[in-house]
Amino acid sequence: MLTAYTADQIRAAEQALMARLPDGTLMERAAAGLAACCAAMLGRVYGARVVLLVGSGDNGGDALYAGVRLARRGAQVEAVLAGSKVHEAGLAALRQAGGRVRGIEAVDRADLVVDGLVGIGVTGALREPYAKAVARANQGPGLVVAVDVPSGVDASTGRVPGAAIQAHVTVTMGACKTGLLIDPGAGYTGRLELVDIGLGAYLPDPDVAALTDGDVADLLPEPGAESDKYRRGVVGVAAGSEEYTGAAVLAVGGALHAGAGMVRYVGTAAPVAQVRSHWPEAVITELREPSLDGVGRVQAWVLGPGLGTGDFAHELARRVLASDVPVLVDADALTLVSRDPTLLRRSAPVLITPHAGELARLMRVPRERVEASRLEHARRAAADLGVTVLLKGSTTLVAEQDRPVRVNRTGTPALATGGTGDVLAGVAGALLAQGLSCYDAGSCGAYLHGLAGRLAADGAPLVTADVAAAIPAAIRSLS
């Protein structure tokens, strides 16, 4: 599992470690790791032009000492001193190794630019001359490596309130920072490289975490010798309408491919006909009124994809949410809940799966505010609504009160197409029915959905139904 921490958590761990080490040890370790990553990016160090963007803080010192190591290997290293002060010992060492101080125009000739402008303690928009230096580096011809975090990205939240370095690689020291995994900051990070400087024993519980293949494989239920369709999980799907029949088909398909022992589908005549023709495995109840009488027992519900938002849908949602099993609330059901918050007043677990606009409606805030601060709003919604929140987007977040927020890193832009969220709802709902908690079902569902999206796209335009079909291959790929 990849864990990440806020700036305050990292600084506290660094202080505890530095108290036990000679002065300068951490900077030496950081510079060695940074120089090794830079050398790997360059391929050939001798004769390469390396420009260091040097700020006033420790990141500037890391960049200078990394520059010393590169200069000793034959690189032409030039430092642009952007801060009001500089790490004097680092600058002296660079000059002794043959490095020089230049103006910002040096960036225009660089093979590699090292961003050491600001560190993890800086919040808010970059001021001049840092903002101009960032713009020049982003427009230049060289590869860009950021030290710890790209300058302009808030290390604790991922917010980007102004100009920011667009890094090809971010070399982060000691432990990953939260803002490197959360959009919009994640979009500026590039490839993430971690340099171990010895912080491990001093780190607290993580702020956020990202599952790996092994984590998901360990969480997924496996059928045993005594398993039957009931023990493997029965998921109910209340989705689709006369207008949106496809949503029902996709949600049921996601649930079936994610290993549900049985899918019980409830809906009106038009979506029932489509589900019946696509999925003969599903047990179907055609509804003429919004009642669950005679549906049979389920262990979790998926509620909302394409359901509509009229009176019929509202009453059906009320009855599903009045049950005593976990419910995944998606799409149109989120609209119903935003209009009638009393629907969420239940003791059984709830997993909501909004995109930014749907979460904004639930929380009565502008969508732009959610998009700019996804982590904050996912956490706040989980606490205020008493639910688990799966906030969909370029980096999907799963938030539950008093737990580290989980960040999904398997997503692909190919999934930004109609209907993929319906598949995700079915997948996560199936995992709920198989006994996973909302926290684990949401996290594993998003992970598998992302892997399946990659497999289904495979360099070609993505067809949403293929995402559901690729779920079993995504599960097999974990081993």
Annotated binding site for (6S)-NADPHX: 58-62, 119-125, 130, 148, 247, 306, 355, 422
Nearest to residue 24, comparing CAs of 80, 87, 69, 71?
A: 87
Measure Cα distances from 17 to 24, 79, 117, 118, 155 in Å: 12, 29, 24, 22, 20
Report the binding-site residues: 58-62, 115, 119-125, 130, 148, 151, 247, 306, 355, 392-396, 421-422
Q: Give the Cα separation of 288 and 260 in Å (integer).
A: 26
Helix%, strand%, coil% for the chain, nearest 5: 45, 15, 40
Q: Give the Cα separation of 177 and 153 in Å (integer).
A: 11
Report the binding-site residues for AMP: 392-396, 421
Report the binding-site residues for K(+): 59, 115, 151
Assess contact for 421 and 331: CB atoms under 8 A: yes
Residue 336: its H or E element: helix 332-339
CA dihedral 370, 375, 379, 381 (to 10 degrees): 20
Total residues belonging to the chain: 479
Assess contact for 164 and 188: CB atoms under 8 A: yes
Q: Give the Cα separation of 282 and 240 in Å (integer).
A: 15
Nearest to residue 330, comparing CAs of 432, 452, 407?
A: 432
Residue 384: its H or E element: helix 374-385
Map tokens 């520059």 to a residue.
67
Helix (DSSP H) and strand (DSSP E) numbers for the chain:
17, 19
Q: What is the DSSP string of 66-92?
A: HHHHHHHTT-EEEEEE-SSS--HHHHH
What tokens appear for 35 in the block? 């120089």
Q: Give the Cα separation of 108 and 41 in Å (integer).
A: 18
Backbone angles phi, psi at 146, to 5 degrees: -95, 140
